[in-house]
Amino acid sequence: MKPDNMQNDNNQKNLLNIARKAAEKSNCRRRRVGCVIAFDKTILIESNNGTPDGIQSCKDGGCDRCLSGIPSGESYESCLCMHAEQAAIAQAAKMGKQISGATLYCTLRPCLNCLEICYSAGIKTIVFDDYIKFRPELEEAYSSFVNQTKFELIKIQFYYGLNDS
């Protein structure tokens, strides 16, 4: 590995570590996910998943879906928790921060909806750690989207000991 690539890998791991710390602040009772939006080493936004401000915390029973036994990856349309990527982009918009051309670092592979939102917001690269597999038909749509848009997804193997709830 070239020195520039090693430095880039270290930068990516450092930014993923910051995303991991953001995940620890999540109020979602089912899974803690964090993300960072950055230009090079400059962090623009840190965020995590969970219920939005003004809604009862998921940990305190604010989201019926998270209280239920619904399997992971299903019935997101009834979930009150925002994904970390959605929360970060909303926060950037609220603060008037330019994120087009930035890279998003996330502790979990984004769902297709978040991938579409990131792409539409001008984010064309996502670096993630934890891989989540979707249903076969969703994986097919996911691959089609990535191939058609030339979206760059970078999986980094990074062990940091964050336990999901």
Torsion of CA 162, 44, 91, 159, to 10 degrees: -10
Distance CA(133)–CA(104), nearest Å, equals 19
Our measurement of the distance from residue 61's CA atom to the centroid of its chain's CA atoms, rounded to an integer in Å, reads 23
* Per-residue tokens: 51: 């219920």
The conformational region for residue 130 under phi > 0 = left, psi -120 to 50 = alpha, else beta, is beta
Per annotation, catalytic residue among 74, 85, 116, 140: 85
* Catalytic residue list contains 85: yes
Sign of the torsion formed by the C-alpha atoms of 64, 66, 67 and 69: positive
Residue numbers annotated as active site: 85
